[in-house]
């Protein structure tokens, strides 16, 4: 067996295209396996396994801004890598892929519902409803309905006798679309962009409108172009799987030598 080749912090940083302080932070946060120290100068003694884990972390952290189950799976993958359980990390990477694909399927379903609604969906009711009735019908809060109106996602007619909001079939149908898009993680800005196009009578390319910020628009969230983001994340999950499989293959080859 060949002697272990030790790597300096700067070498790991260069290989992963990060600052050396990032490597130290990852070590401090427990994202890398424990690192030995040189007994003569106390320098860190990184190995190829640390570099493999650093590259895994860099790839996996692309997903951590997503909340919920995906966020948890990413940190489980990193934890398995720290424990040098690459088989477990690979299994979880496939789980991550399925979670991203589920997000993408939900986002696509919301777009299809939008397109079907534009073509014409039978209304829920023919009589106007008050805000409390709409909230119960759509399983949302009154505050959510008011917030969507404040964000210009819809205008609600008022009862001329008392000023109360009255939601007719058109408003309720529009609210169903808004609710489904929001629950599928589309940003308020992307929904507003699409609805403005629709209100101008432009009923084609609504999918592109949801996913394509205007030239003068500040892009603040990845959900401002959610379909593109999900496509990139799915590619990233495949890359993570390939990366772990390549590391496993390399280690098996080294052990057999």
The per-residue DSSP string of 8-53 comes to -HHHHHHHHTS-HHHHHHHHHTT-S---EE-TTT--EEB-HHHHHH
Yes or no: is domain 9-100+233-256 CATH 1.10.1660?
yes
Give 19 or 63, the one with higher predicted confidence: 19
Q: What is the mean pLDDT of residues 121-149?
A: 90
Q: What is the mean pLDDT of residues 132-150?
A: 95
* Domain residue extents for the chain: 9-100+233-256
d(CA 257, CA 169): 72
Q: What's the whole-number average pLDDT of the chain?
A: 91
pLDDT(1) > 60: no
Instruction: Enter the pTM of the model.
Output: 0.87
pLDDT band of residue 195 (cuts 50, 70, 90) is very high
Structure confidence at residue 191 (pLDDT):
95
Please name the helix (run of DSSP H) or strand (run of DSSP E) that holds residue 178, with its range, or none.
helix 169-183
Of 26, 16, 50, 40, the C-alpha closest to 247 is 50
3-state helix, strand, coil in the chain (%, to 5): 65, 5, 30
Q: What is the mean pLDDT of residues 225-231?
A: 91
d(CA 253, CA 141): 58
Contact 169, 106 (CB under 8 A): no
The pLDDT tens digits of the residues spanning 3-56 come to 678 999 999 999 999 999 999 999 999 999 999 998 888 888 999 999 999 999
Structure confidence at residue 219 (pLDDT):
66
Give 222 or 227, the one with higher predicted confidence: 227
pLDDT band of residue 90 (cuts 50, 70, 90) is very high
């Amino acid at each position: 067996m060949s002697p272990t080749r030790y790597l300096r912090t700067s070498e790991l940083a260069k290989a992963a295209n990060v600052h050396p302080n990032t490597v130290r932070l990852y070590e401090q946060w427990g994202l890398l396996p424990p690192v030995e120290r040189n007994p003569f100068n106390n320098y860190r003694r990184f190995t190829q396994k640390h570099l493999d884990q650093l590259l895994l972390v860099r790839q996996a952290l692309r997903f951590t801004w997503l909340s919920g189950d995906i966020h948890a799976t990413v940190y489980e993958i990193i934890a398995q890598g720290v424990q040098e359980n690459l088989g477990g990390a690979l299994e979880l990477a496939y789980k991550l892929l399925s979670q991203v694909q589920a997000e993408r399927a939900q986002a696509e379903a919301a777009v299809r519902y939008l397109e079907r609604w534009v073509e014409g969906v039978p209304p829920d009711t023919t009589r106007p409803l008050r805000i409390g009735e709409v909230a119960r019908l759509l399983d949302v809060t009154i505050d959510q309905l008011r917030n969507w109106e404040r964000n210009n996602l819809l205008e609600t007619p008022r009862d001329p006798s008392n000023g109360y909001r009255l939601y007719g079939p058109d408003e309720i149908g529009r609210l169903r679309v808004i609710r489904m898009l929001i629950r599928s993680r589309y940003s308020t800005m992307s929904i507003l962009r699409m609805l403005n196009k629709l209100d101008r009578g432009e009923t084609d390319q609504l999918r592109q409108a949801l996913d394509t910020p205007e030239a003068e628009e500040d892009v603040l969230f990845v959900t401002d172009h959610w379909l593109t983001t999900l496509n990139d994340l799915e590619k990233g999950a495949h890359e993570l799987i390939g990366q772990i499989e390549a590391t496993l293959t390399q280690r098996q080859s080294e052990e057999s030598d």
